[in-house]
């Protein structure tokens, strides 16, 4: 891919993330008794209200850009650019009051994610990844940790339900398993804290923002067959801190 | 149990938690490459240094009190009082850089926990529970949420390895499963965000501090047979936001 000047898009994506913080934060830990309902009322409300406002801002500034959001579906692109939004990734963490959910904002060029933000609104922590530039955490460049084999890897997955036939094996194959991270685990990978994330059941709005962040920090993100993830992908995702891990993990995932 | 005046002990426990913050915080996210080693060097170092300082402060102010810590074992009590310490509960979260680990400080009278603190040093969040008084979060009283049955309960466990034969059933029985919380999940229960925590492999330094916090917020903590947990207990722990849940869960745990 040729070098892209994404500086204006990065600036705009920061505005989107700032706006999401303003909408989401008042809902956090707001009324726990409501959160118990099966429709997860507060999270739905915060999710929908945030996505509406982000979409309006995108439509105002970039009327020809496409938009794909978790709550309000797909607006086709007229110029090859598509914004991909998940206002609250990690709804269960949000519902129980744990500040490790995140707002995900991605920009794709022709189905390829070129810009991604993970924003934790409560902790005011933000990761920004953009094609061809180092990933930034709180404005500072970060790097994944070198990791040559699964035996020395710190591994994470949000839930054993995403990897029901693998989770017990991962305890034997890796040096550490940590559960329940959602997008925050990918941010920690960019910072050097996690070496492997294996998940399934992922949608484009779950993973598009993560790809430029992981790549820009020195890691690799792909599906369980080693293929690139795009706006058309769905399902199984793998992120690693070090490409040296890829052959061993792909073999493991086949087994 | 008669009413206890724990005000001086609460004040002292705050000093202990403040001291732990000062020791732990510089280690957090300090050097991720070290954290990968099998001995978890930075967490061990932070753990040991914190426990040493807490023990020294206790010995200085309360030379006759017993001390039980994760790192440096058991000093017998000469007066029936025992402090129970876990400087970093949730070492894996600490190692990967996730701010949901906690410092646990408890005071037992004759094996019964009467005072407990959960402190999250990075977020500067603190829960304080003391026999006969309402649990405080950031100095304000908090309450668990009413929850009449498992079907409407938000459930949590740190890892499926703690409940290998139960975790899949819990997805069917409860309205939500959230993973990977360590002591922080019990704090969220006190705040009203979680209804059930089921864990095993627990030691007194893992659960003693949690008991006064859960009880003072309106919940119940016991073993998987409904028995009280004391300084002599070990293994399986259950915490619920509402005592109405107990019969159904004990039946479930037997099945």
Q: Using one digit for the tens of pLDDT, what is the confidence trace for A93-102?
A: 999 999 999 9
Q: State the average pLDDT over residues B232-251.
A: 97
Local structure of A147: helix, strand or coil: coil
As a whole-number percent, the residues of chain B with pLDDT over 90 amount to 87
Burial class (CB in 10 A: 0-12, 13-18, 19+), B196: buried
Residue B180 lies in a domain: yes
Beta-carbon contacts of residue B255 (< 8 Å; ≥ 6 apart): none
B194 touches chain A (CB under 8 A): yes
Name the residue among B32, B92, B171 with its Cβ closest to that of A161: B171
- Please report the number of interchain residue pairs, chain A to chain B, with beta-carbon separation below 8 angstroms: 123
* Domain that includes residue B96, residue range: 7-133
Q: Looking at the predicted structure, is the pLDDT value of residue B203 above 80? A: yes
Angle between helices A41-61 and A7-24 (to 10 degrees): 150
Residues A155 and A247 in one domain: yes
Q: State the average pLDDT over residues B213-217.
A: 98
Q: Looking at the predicted structure, is the pLDDT value of residue A45 above 90? A: no
Residues B123 and B165 in one domain: no
Nearest Cα of chain A lies from the Cα of B193 at a distance, in angstroms, of 4
Phi, psi angles (nearest 5°) of residue A82: -140, 130
Residue B41 has a pLDDT of 61
Instruction: Give A57-79 pLDDT, tens digit per residue.
Output: 999 999 999 999 988 889 999 99
Give the separation between CA B40 and CA B122, rounded to whole angstroms.
19
Give the separation between CA B211 and CA B107, rounded to whole angstroms.
11
Q: Quickly state the pLDDT bin for A42 (edges 50, 70, 90).
A: low
Q: A43 or A105: which carries more pLDDT confidence?
A: A105
B177 touches chain A (CB under 8 A): yes
Name the residue among B32, B36, B92 with its Cβ closest to that of A178: B92
A76-80, long-range: CB < 8 A, 24+ apart: A80/A109, A80/A110
Question: How is residue A29 written in tokens?
Answer: 């830990």
Residue B6 has a pLDDT of 96
Question: How is residue A4 written in tokens?
Answer: 């892209």
Q: Write the CATH number for B210.
A: 3.40.190.80
What residues pair up with A221 in beta bridges, in sequence order? A239
> ipTM value of the model?
0.94
Residue A142 lies in a domain: no
Give the separation between CA B215 and CA B211, rounded to whole angstroms.
6
Residue B145 lies in a domain: no
Instruction: Give A195-243 pLDDT, tens digit per residue.
Output: 999 999 999 999 999 999 999 999 999 999 999 999 999 899 999 999 9
Q: Which residue of A has its CA nearest to B148?
A: A36
Residues B165 and B239 in one domain: yes
- Among the candidates B133, B161, B194, a domain finishes at B133
Q: Which residue of A has its CA nearest to B152?
A: A36
Q: Looking at the predicted structure, is the pLDDT value of residue A54 above 70? A: yes
A30 touches chain B (CB under 8 A): no
Do A171 and B161 make contact, defined as CB atoms within 8 angstroms? Answer: yes
A176 touches chain B (CB under 8 A): yes
* Distance, CA of A161 to chain centre: 19
Residue B76 lies in a domain: yes
Question: How is residue A198 written in tokens?
Answer: 């294996």
Residue B245 has a pLDDT of 98
Q: Looking at the predicted structure, is the pLDDT value of residue A36 above 70? A: no
Q: Looking at the predicted structure, is the pLDDT value of residue A35 above 60? A: no
Residue A21 lies in a domain: yes
Q: State the average pLDDT over residues B92-114.
A: 96
Instruction: Give B69-89 pLDDT, tens digit per residue.
Output: 988 889 999 999 999 999 999
Do B177 and A161 make contact, defined as CB atoms within 8 angstroms? Answer: yes
Q: How far is CA B65 from CA A47, A119, B16, B108, B131, in A?
A: 51, 46, 15, 10, 18
Do B160 and A175 make contact, defined as CB atoms within 8 angstroms? Answer: no
Listed residue (B5, B2, B17) closest to B128, CA to CA = B17
Q: Tell me whether strands B125-130 and B112-120 are parallel, antiparallel or unpaired.
A: antiparallel
Residues A28 and A125 in one domain: yes
Contact A17, A102 (CB under 8 A): no
Contact B20, B121 (CB under 8 A): yes
Residues A29 and A105 in one domain: yes
What is the DSSP code string of A188-214?
HHHHTS-SEEEEEEE-HHHHTTHHHHH
Token match 């099945």: residue? B255
Q: Would you tell me how many other CB atoms lie within 10 Å of the CB of residue B187?
A: 30
Q: Looking at the predicted structure, is the pLDDT value of residue B244 above 70? A: yes
Residues A219 and A126 in one domain: no
Residues B128 and B165 in one domain: no
Classify each residue of A89-124 as buried b or exposed e, where b means 16 or more C-beta atoms within 10 Å of its C-beta: bbbbbbbbbbbbbbbbbbbbbebbbbbbbbbbbbee
Q: Looking at the predicted structure, is the pLDDT value of residue A164 above 90? A: yes
Q: A128 or B95: which carries more pLDDT confidence?
A: A128
Contact B70, B105 (CB under 8 A): no
Cα angle, residue B145 at apex, residues B229 and A181 outer, rounded to 5°: 80
Q: Quickly state the pLDDT bin for B1 (edges 50, 70, 90).
A: low
Give the separation between CA A114 and CA B167, rounded to whole angstroms.
38
Residues A125 and A164 in one domain: no
Element (H, E) at B11: helix B7-24
What residues pair up with B141 in beta bridges, in sequence order? B136
Residues B120 and B161 in one domain: no
- Among the candidates B68, B101, B133, a domain finishes at B133
Listed residue (A227, A236, A239, A152) closest to A191, CA to CA = A239
Q: State the average pLDDT over residues A30-48.
A: 69
Q: Looking at the predicted structure, is the pLDDT value of residue B37 above 90? A: no
Instruction: Give B11-30 pLDDT, tens digit per residue.
Output: 999 999 999 999 999 999 98
Name the residue among B33, B180, B188 with its Cβ closest to that of A179: B180
Lowest mean pLDDT among A1-10, A33-42, A246-255, B3-12: A33-42
Local structure of B208: helix, strand or coil: coil
Residues A98 and A16 in one domain: yes
Reduced 3-state DSSP string for A153-187: CEEEECCHHHCCCCHHHHHHHCCEEEECCCHHHHH
Domains of chain B: total: 2
Residue B16 lies in a domain: yes
Residue B255 has a pLDDT of 81
Residue A25 has a pLDDT of 95
Residue A34 has a pLDDT of 61
Q: Looking at the predicted structure, is the pLDDT value of residue B247 above 80? A: yes
Residue A1 lies in a domain: no
CA trace torsion A24, A91, B220, B242 (10° rounding): 80
Instruction: Give B121-178 pLDDT, tens digit per residue.
Output: 999 999 999 999 999 999 999 999 999 999 999 999 999 999 999 999 999 999 999 9
Residues A117 and A90 in one domain: yes
Residue A18 lies in a domain: yes
Residues A178 and A235 in one domain: yes
């Amino acid at each position: 891919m040729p070098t892209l000047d994404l500086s204006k898009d990065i600036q705009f994506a920061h505005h989107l993330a700032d706006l999401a913080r303003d909408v989401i934060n008042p809902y956090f830990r707001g009324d726990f008794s409501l959160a118990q309902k099966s429709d997860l009322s507060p999270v739905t409300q915060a999710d929908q209200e945030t996505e509406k406002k982000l979409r309006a801002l995108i439509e105002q500034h970039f009327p020809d850009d496409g938009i794909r959001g978790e709550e309000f579906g797909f607006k086709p692109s007229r110029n090859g650019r598509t914004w991909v939004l998940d206002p609250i990734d990690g709804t269960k963490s949000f519902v129980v009051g744990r500040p490790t959910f995140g707002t995900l904002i991605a920009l794709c060029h022709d189905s390829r994610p070129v810009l991604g933000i993970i924003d934790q609104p409560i902790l005011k922590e933000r990761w920004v990844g953009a094609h061809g530039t180092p990933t930034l955490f709180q404005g500072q460049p970060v790097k994944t940790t070198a990791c040559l084999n699964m035996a020395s890897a710190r591994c994470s997955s949000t839930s054993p339900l995403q990897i029901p036939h693998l989770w017990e094996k991962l305890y034997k194959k890796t040096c550490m398993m940590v559960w329940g991270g959602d997008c925050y685990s990918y941010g920690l990978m960019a910072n050097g804290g996690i070496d492997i994330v294996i998940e399934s059941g992922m949608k484009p709005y779950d993973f598009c923002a993560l790809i430029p962040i992981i790549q820009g920090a020195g890691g690799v993100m792909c599906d369980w067959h080693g293929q690139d993830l795009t706006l058309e992908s769905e399902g199984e995702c793998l992120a690693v801190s070090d490409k040296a891990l890829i052959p061993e993990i792909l073999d493991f995932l086949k087994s």
